[in-house]
Structures are given as C-alpha cells and as structure tokens.
Amino acid sequence: MVFVLKLAVNDLRNVIRDRMFVFLFFAYPVMLIVISRILIHLIAPRIKDMFPLAANFSVLFMVFSIAIPMIYSFLAAFLILDERDEHLLTVLRVMPISRNSYLIYRMFFMSLFAFIVLLIFPPLSGLVDGTQFSYPAYIPVALLFALFTPFLALLVSSFASNKVQAFAIFKIGGTVFILPIFAFFLNLGNLKYIFSPIPNFWSLMSLDSVLQDGTLDIVHLGIGFAFHIVLIGALFYIFNKKN
C-alpha cells in the first residue's frame, strides 16, 4: 500500500511537471463542464430556428462522456511511453512490485480520475433532464465508460513505438470511437448495431437508456463490461509480449 501511495505521488509530480499534462488532467475536464454549462446554453436559444441544439443535449452529453475517459487514457499512455523510454519497465523485473501489478495500478490510477469526473459531470453539465435522469442507474454506466481508459491506453502503448505514433493512433482512434454517436444522432434504428464492434457503442447504448427513461439496460451494460474486459486482457497480454 505504501508503495502504491509513492507511485501515486510520483505520478502527480510527473503530471505537474508537464504543462500539457496539467492542462489535460485538471483544466480540460473543467473546460468541458464550462462549455456544456455556459456556452451551449448561450448558443442554443440563439440558433434554435436553424438547429434544435437543445433537442440534442443527450447526444452532446454522450460526446462529452466519450471525451472524458479519452483524456485520461491519453495521460496514462504517455506516462507509460515515458517510463518505457526511461527503461523503467525493465527495472521493474527486479523490483518488489511486479510489472503486471504496476500496469494494473497505472490503469486504475487514471481510470479512477476518469470515473470521478464522469460522476460529477451530469449535475454540472446541465445537459441531462433531471426528471428522467436516474443517478443510481448512471453510476454503473459511468464505471463502464471509465473502463475505456485502460482499453485505449493499452491500445496506444502496445502499438506505438514513440509519441509521434501515439498521437497518430489517438487521432485515428478519436475518429473511430466517435462513430457510434451517429447511431443516436441519425436515429438509425436496428442499423445502429453496425457499430457494435466498437467497444464504446455498448457504453453509449447503456447511457442512452439512462438518459431517455432513467432505467438501467442490464443487457447492453453486461455486454459492454464483458467486451471491455476481454479487450483489456488481450491488450495486456500483447503489451507484455512486446515489452
């Protein structure tokens, strides 16, 4: 436990040391809340005749819910790449903590912050209907969204040899993982399942149920958890084989 606390303190120091990390870790979540709470509500009434923005607040909430774990996956991946460049992963072979335990800690550390931000986002965003939204039903959905953090972090750190490649994977991933939003924005009906191979599709399906009628969709939630856990396990294996 003491070793974990030392690692957490060291991680916070690494974050604070880099301006980009400071912005992503602290400022970016606040910026998302400010945008959703103030700017969107200022813009929506002005453009209601051109585009019914207010009618699509639930879709906007989904977009922000994808962005939050992506922020922390970016941080986790780049911390791992820094540590790999410094040969820390090699040093861990002779340390009291195993490399697997260290990677689990690394994934948990950033996922925890993603989960906390996801929990506080609904009441602060102003994008959810308080009469329909069920906070207890939302908590397991937020946990599923937080699982996207270790998935994407491991995906990037497993296949990127350097930070340039990591940026490229994040750019491609940002495009791919936002695609399931179109299933809700365009009202595709059952055609929306063409996005089912994309893991956060199941998170969005679960979230849609909470946003629309305040109920927890156990089936989509269960598939989402199973899918994420299988992918994380596979990427964990690939990362260890390559490093």
Note the pTM of the prediction, 2 decimals. Answer: 0.87
Asked if residue 96 lies in contact with residue 3, where contact means CB atoms within 8 angstroms, the answer is: yes
The confidence score (pLDDT) of residue 94 equals 52
Q: What pLDDT was estimated at residue 58?
A: 85
Q: What sections of 131-214 are H helices per DSSP?
A: 135-146, 148-159, 163-178, 181-185, 200-213
pLDDT in tens, 133-143: 889 999 999 99
Which residue type, as a one-letter code, is found at position 80? I
pLDDT tens-digit profile of 196-219?
999 999 999 999 999 888 899 999
- The pLDDT of residue 141 is 96
Residue stretches of the chain with pLDDT short of 50: none
Which amino acid belongs to residue 147?
L
Would you state the pLDDT for residue 40?
A: 76
Percent helix, strand and coil across the chain, each to the nearest 5: 85, 0, 15
